[in-house]
Structure formats: C-alpha cells, structure tokens
Amino acid sequence: MTDKKSSMSDLFGYDMRALSGILTEVNEKSQKLVQAFVEKQHQSSGIDQAGAAEVSKSFQELTAKLMADPNKLFDSQMNYWQDYWGLLQKSSLQLLGGVSAQEPEKKPDKRFRHEAWRTNPMFNFIKESYLLTSKAIRKAVEDIQGLDDKTRQKVEFYTGQYLDAIAPSNFLGTNPELLQLTLESRGENLLKGLKNLLEDLDRGPCQLQIQMTDMDAFEVGKDLAISPGKVIFQNDLIELIQYAPTTEEVHDRPLMIIPPWINKYYILDLREQNSMVRWMVEQGYTVFMVSWANPDEAHRDKGFEDYMLEGPVTALQEIERATGQREVNAIGYCMGGTLLACTTAYLTAQGEGDRIHSGTYMASLIDFSDPGDIGVFLDETQVAAFEETMNAQGYLDGCAMSNSFSMLRANDLVWAYVINNYLKGATPVPFDILFWNSDATNMPAKMHSFYLRNMYLHNRLREPGGITLDNVPIDIGKIKSPAYFISTREDHIALWQTTYKGALLHTGDVRFVLGASGHVAGIVNPPPRKKYGHWTNDDLPGSAAEWLDNAEAHQSSWWLDWVKWNAPYTGGKVPAKVPGGKKADQLDNAPGCFVTNRLDRPETGVCYMPNALL
C-alpha cells in the first residue's frame, strides 16, 4: 500500500479493487449481525405521520409560490450556474496543477477539517460543489415572497435538515478521511460501526438514540451529583434536597433552585470543578434543590398546576420547616424559570409574593412569541398528534423530546456522531454534559399538553390572566420582587431576544445579563475556568437589539455578577445548620432516588417512598 502522505495526495491511486474486496467482506460479515438483530425484534415503530404531513404541506406551498414567479426562479438558476461554472474552472486548474491549494477559510466548516478536503482536487471539488449548491438552495428558499411566518420557518428548517443530511462528509464514498480509514483497517471500522448501530437500535427505549458519550462512564451519585446533602422531603413529583454547608455561617435567606423537568437537575451539580451547587454553597448560601420525578403512566393526570403546587409551593413550606425562614431567593432554569414566574405570580395574587424575595431566571421563556426552531414541531396538527400519543401511554417518551432537540443542531448532535460511531466505528468519549444530555426524562400527558398549548401555541402566559392555576389568574406584570435574567447569546432553545421580552413583563427591579455560548455551557460557567464572558447594561430599553448595542462586555463569568446583584437580598448571617434539622427529617442522602431513574435501565426506576412519608 502506498504511504499515507502519497495516498492522500492522490486518493484514487489506491487499488480500488482492494477497497471493493474489503467492502464485500464487510457485507458478508455484517449479514450475520443484521440477521441476529432482526431475530430479536418483535415490534416496529411507525413514522410520525402528522409531522410528515405538515412538512409536505409547507413544501407544497413553497413550490406554488416558487412557480408563481418564474422570472425570479430563472434568475436564481442563472446565478447558480454562473457560480458553478467558475467553480469548474478553478477546480480544473487545480486538478492540472495550475493553481495551488486553496487557502483555509477564515471560519472553516467543522465537517471539512481534514486536509484532503482542501488539498485533493477531487474532494475539494466535491466539498465546494456541495457548499455552493447548499448556499443557492437556501437563498432561493429565503427569497420566496408570500409565505406566512410559520410556513417559512418550517421550509427553511427542513431545507437545512435535508442539506445537512446530504453533506458529502456523511458518506463513505465521498469522505476522504473515511476512505483512508477503511482501507487502512480493511473495513474493521465499518464492522465496528455496524455493531454500534445495532446496539443503539437494541438498547431501548428509543427506536434509535445515537450514543453521544459512554453511558457507562459515569454513575449519578458517585461521579456526578456528588455535592453532599440530604433529601428532606418527597412526594409524587419531587424530592427536596438540602445541601450540607461548607461555611460556619450562612446567609439568612435560603436559595431554592427549580430545574427544568425536561432534564435532570444534576446539570447544576456535575463534578466539583463545574458544579453550580457546590459554588453557591461555598458563597455561604443554604441551597435547596428540587429534584423532579421521572414520570410514567402513573403520573398521567398530573397537570401544570400540580407541578407548581407539589413543586415549588410545597418546597417553600418544607424549607420554612427546615430553616424557619419563609422567604427565599429562587432560581429557575429553562422550564423551571417559567414555573418560577407562574409560582411568584400565584403567590403575589394571594398576598404572599414576598416569599420569593428575589427571582433569577436562567435561559427561561415567559414570553413565547418566538421560541426559535423548536416551533417547527409545534402547531395545532402536531400538538394534537403529541396528545394522542401521550394519552395512549400516559406520558410523552423522553426519547421524542431528546431527538427533537438534537435536530435543532443536527450537524453537531446527529451527523457528527453518525460519522464517528457508525462510519469510523469509534466509541464516544466520556463527557459529563453529554451524559446528562442523554439521560432523558418523560413528560406527563396532562402537564405537557397544557404547557404546549398555553405557552408555545397561544403564548397566554404573557397576557394578564391568560392562564389560571389553582383557580388563581396568573399575572406576571404584578410581580414586584427583584428579578435577574441571564440568557445566552447562542442559545437555540430559549432565544435571548425572546427571554428579553419576558424580562420586560416584570414591574419590579429587573437586571438583564447576556452570557456567551449556549443554553448549557453559557449557564454552567464556573468563574475559575475563565471560559465565557458576559454583557451587562443597567438599562432595560424596549428592544433586545438596543440593549445589546449599549451593553458592556466583561471577560468574567456571569456568576460573579449575580452574587454582587443578589447580595442585598441575602439577609444577615446565621450559623450554618445540619440539613433537615433533625435526623428524622433526613430521608435519604443526596442525590436521592428520583434522579437515578434512567429510561435505558428500567431497574434504576424503583424508588420507594420512605416510611416517614407514608
């Protein structure tokens, strides 16, 4: 075999008969693996017909608008062919040695990082042809006039999904790195990749959930969620954890954290070096964490107001019992922030708004007018289909939500792992955040239906009395407690421009801060790492764009800004207390049993109610 350097300078100089023989051998071996897998299968899942019908309808409308303006279509085609002709000329010169290899792009596409995509004339042409065609298609779709906003969002999103899927980097025959690896390993990478695929198909409960990390590399309570503390309360929906203090004195007002129930809370308590819980405890806070149950069919009738009443409202009562303090500083993350706003408005309407002395909203939507690309999955037809599925089994499978969010960043969260796991045959590396991301949770049918319809479909939370919880009209505008909003600039789940609109709904003192990076990395940003900065602006103008235009950049973590902001609301210092106060109130060691329930391991789902609660 030619050496690596020469093979990559002229990839098709390899003995292609050898490659054909390797692929034939892989095919013969793979037949046995596939047959073994098929024999184990007894059920198959259908395609989401409602979603497919909506996509088809949107593209039919796109086609009609496109054909209604043939002159524009002709101009678009002519511009494309002119650019393509220029590419053919440039590629021909490079193939003949008339031009040197192209200079690296200023912001290179991660899919084409391998040197051969630039230096090999054939693969450079494949790459550039794909990028040119993708750009032309995207522009043609974006330039179509007359589409309503919802239809435009759908066609642009699914056009992007299609273009991402057909990238030459995703296929063995057009990816020079994969071809080289296949030749050098004699197809062993493809056999390993097929095994990885079959294992992902067989693992359950998802029809297919690509492994992003080694799911055996961590154990919750041993490697992750290791901050010491006690479970001091449990009901059907929550375990309330009180963390052990690390300082002799603590702030008088406790800190209550409400994480999203779409994921598990330990994203805020990963390992020592990136645990927000640990850091908050070190700042002298008595930290309480709501740990949500991973629901099943028994939770089908739990509604959104149950999540409020059995969640933060009950937690406030238990915190007062444990500490004697009726007021807390509260933090809500993502959906937990939406629930925090509802809870604060609910308490305010009953004359108890002071119980939430200050509220912090981390990447939280209150106004849902622009939820971002997740909106493509949410219209009347698709929500009705969700409800039909949820009502049949009592909950929405966590796999459905996980896969939907992965589609929002398909190149990073789908295709990169298809290449790594199935075509390279590699094993994903251990990564705590991706382990958490893959540790999916279910959604109770009644609660999730209310959430999708009232928040995403109709945006009722922003309207005074738009929703009613426990017979109390919810009015965000009546919240008077100080509020701190932290959002992140690259968030694809809760767009910062939309979370900014939620900040404007509050009438108390409000501080809005914008962090760098995305929905998770920008929030879980420990100061010692000095990784992501933030922007601040003491004013709160009417638009997010105006806010950013006058914002000041800082290199430090937003955590430091939050501590400074929250300082006036902490109360005096008091002696630190043992979690729960009395041993009888210590039901279990942190992290408790709710958080260890994994969908891919049903045996972890057993979580007995302590005798103290029976």
Q: How far apart are CA 336 and CA 140, in angstroms?
A: 39
Q: How far apart are CA 275 and CA 254, in angstroms?
A: 18
Q: Are strands 356-362 and 328-333 parallel, antiparallel or unpaired?
A: parallel
Burial class (CB in 10 A: 0-12, 13-18, 19+), 46: exposed
Q: Are strands 356-362 and 483-488 parallel, antiparallel or unpaired?
A: parallel
Distance of CA 421 to the CA centre of its chain: 21
Spot the catalytic one: 206, 334, 342, 399.
334
Q: How far apart are CA 425 and CA 418, in angstroms?
A: 9
Q: List beta partners, residue 55.
A: none
Q: Is the dihedral of CA 92, 93, 94, 96 positive or negative?
A: positive
Q: How far apart are CA 201 and CA 204, in angstroms?
A: 7
Amino acid in position 310: E
Q: In 397-408, which positions are buried (b, 16+ CB within 10 angstroms) versus exposed (e)?
A: bbbbbbbebbbb
* Residue 242: φ, ψ to 5°: -110, 125
H/E element, 487: strand 483-488
End-to-end, the C-alpha distance of the chain in Å comes to 72
* Whether 334 is catalytic: yes
Question: 456 is written with which tokens?
Answer: 């995403």
* Residue 304: φ, ψ to 5°: -60, -40
Question: 544 is written with which tokens?
Answer: 């997010």
Residues 174, 168: contact at Cβ < 8 Å? yes
Residue with tokens 């006039």: 145
Residue with tokens 């430091």: 560
Number of CB atoms found within 10 A of residue 599's CB: 23
Residue 536: CB partners within 8 Å, gap ≥ 6? 511, 513, 514, 551, 552, 554, 561
Q: List beta partners, residue 369.
A: none
HSE of 185, CA atoms in CB hemisphere, 13 A:
18
H/E element, 197: helix 188-203
DSSP string, 7-26: HHHSGGGS-HHHHHHHHHHH
Amino acid in position 170: N
**Residues recognised as catalytic:** 334
